Structure 1
Amino acid sequence: MNKKTIAAAFVAVVAAAGIAYWSLGSANAPLRGSSVAAASGNKVITIWRDPGCGCCDAYADYLEGNGYVVTRVDDPNFDKRSIEAGVPQQGIGCHLAEIDGYVVSGLVPAEIIERLVSERPDITGITLPGMPANAPGMAPTKTGTLKTYAFGKDGVTVYSEE
């Protein structure tokens, strides 16, 4: 084999290994996007959650009912992962999610996530802090108003109040 063939084979193997690692994920791995899948039109989201949290399962079921492919990762330290991902301390929700390169903290309604991925603002992510009783995963249907915040290099702002 010549050097170009060996180099091309090496690059292909390294790329395949990287894609496999990136796609499979683990509770100990840093956030990594499902941007390839999301960019192709799939609604792929990963949720890091406390293993004992029932509302997180209800929220994941809600997202699946709205056409998302959800990967659930048990992570009792999701709050530390949230801070590392850029979620402000006062903005931590009951779990952490990642979709198409964005961080989503808490029980954010599907239509707000879809708006985020569609509009692609220059932010790190969005959060619906705490566990509002009228949010998806806590109530059978969303009622009333939920205030979702954007966060990133420019600080924290209201992203949606609906």
Structure 2
Amino acid sequence: MKKFTLALAFLAASPAFAGEAITVYRDPSCGCCSAWADYMGQKGYDVTIIEERDVAARAIAAGVPERGLSCHHAEVGGYGIHGHIPAEIIDRVLAERPAISGLVLPGMPQNSPGMAPDKYGTLKVYSYAPTGVAVYSNE
């Protein structure tokens, strides 16, 4: 029984999607993109960075609305992740598996991961799909 309890405690302490592969497309001259990729690695994701000079074109091709563009685009678990989205919101979309194309956090909010050491305050993250855009999280 003691081993079972220890195993459960270990699982509870592990990141929800430890080892989940995420590919980050970033402009080679963008430092905050690297900071966000490092943050995702610290949250347990297996990060691959691909240098991409035209991140906007890649994002738009993936369905990201032009008015939601940010500085980097990522792919994880079949979803597009665009911008400085906190790991806990990505964990949630991977757990819930909604029928969306992905998530977008427009711009480069100063209180978001990769722009600040830690997220603070609220961030409005949107889901996007062929059917439209909707608020996914306002935390």
TM-score by length of 2: 0.86
Higher relative contact order (CA 8 A, sep 6+): 2
Q: How far apart are the structure 1 equivalents of 2:34 and 2:44?
A: 15
1:41 deviates by: 6.6
Which stretches of structure 1, 4 residues or longer, exceed 6 Å deviation after superposition? none
The equivalent residue for 1:111 is 88
The equivalent residue for 2:11 is none
Q: How far apart are the structure 1 equivalents of 2:53 and 2:60?
A: 14
The equivalent residue for 2:19 is 42
The equivalent residue for 1:82 is 59
SS at match of 2:53: coil
Q: How far apart are the structure 2 equivalents of 1:66 and 1:41?
A: 7
The equivalent residue for 2:134 is 157
Question: Aligned to 2:70, which of 63, 85, 93?
Answer: 93
Q: How far apart are the structure 1 equivalents of 2:32 and 2:127?
A: 22
1:47-101 per-position Cα deviation (integer Å, ceiling 9, x unaligned): 0011100001100110111001100000011110000000000111210000011
Question: Aligned to 1:69, which of 5, 22, 46?
Answer: 46
Larger helix proportion, structure 1 or 2? 1
* Structure 1 unaligned residues grouped into runs of 5+: 1-39
Greater gyration radius: 1
* Structure 2 unaligned residues grouped into runs of 5+: 1-16
TM-score by length of 1: 0.74
Q: How far apart are the structure 1 equivalents of 2:114 and 2:92?
A: 19
SS at match of 1:104: strand
Percent identity reads 53
1:17-65 per-position Cα deviation (integer Å, ceiling 9, x unaligned): xxxxxxxxxxxxxxxxxxxxxxx97311000011100001100110111
Q: How far apart are the structure 2 equivalents of 1:121 and 1:72?
A: 26
Root-mean-square deviation over aligned CA pairs: 1.2
